[in-house]
Amino acid sequence: MSALRNIGGEIKTLPTAIDGFEHINRYWDPRNKVFAAKLLPGEYYVSTQGEMITTVLGSCISACIRDKVCGVGGMNHFMLPDQVDSANKTWECTKANAATRYGSYAMEHLVNDILKQGGRRENLEVKLFGGGHVLRISTNIGGNNAEFAESYVRMEGLYLAAIDVEGDLPRKVNYYPRTGRVFVRKLTPMHNDTIVRREETYMHSLEQAPAETEIDLF
């Protein structure tokens, strides 16, 4: 563990991250009086501690997933590559679609790591957020992200406990895996430019990188 000093001078000890998550930005949040992990596009985080996981979503989607019995859980932050098939506008999870393979990879990584930390698949609950219409492109990528996430949860037989997707405004999401509590705040348009630039950069990076297609499930 490493010691942190908050603004008031009180020493706070940052909980040890699970192996593989040391790169995630984690800090003491004095407003919420809790240690927080802040996610950027393409990242995910799993916690066994009483931490808060926070992110800001535009067109991207976050799945907040936890074992409601033991309290281990996490959040991801992803978007699908802009590869919708013009002849088939559906975003059902199919093995033939590279974009949905990427989305499945993002979801399965999160679920897999929760199970590795003692979670049980039958105890998982899912809450979905994001998928707003904020990017300056003609494709409804936010709606595609939301449709994919709902389809994935349904096809995997997971329990969908809450959903708040689409719309025209970005969202700030604070998630507490131990309790399952989520606080969502819609952001005003003045916040949009930073969010749009960040997600456009992420979207372009997805176009340059091949989608991961295989993962060893726990």
- Residues labelled catalytic: 60
**Cβ distance 11 to 4 under 8 Å?**
yes
Give 211's DSSP letter: P
**Cβ distance 110 to 128 under 8 Å?**
no
Three-state DSSP string of 138-187: CCCHHHHHHHHHHHHHHHCCCEEEEEEECCCCCEEEEEECCCCEEEEEEC
Write out the DSSP string of 68-95.
Answer: TTT--EEEE-B---S--BTTB------T
**Cβ distance 79 to 59 under 8 Å?**
yes
Query: What pairing do the DSSP bridges indicate for beta strands 181-186 and 171-176?
Result: antiparallel
Q: What span, in angstroms and rounded, lies between the C-alpha atoms of 207 and 21?
A: 25
Query: What pairing do the DSSP bridges indicate for beta strands 34-38 and 124-130?
Result: unpaired
**Backbone phi, then psi, for 145, in 5-degree steps?**
-60, -45
Give 39's DSSP letter: P
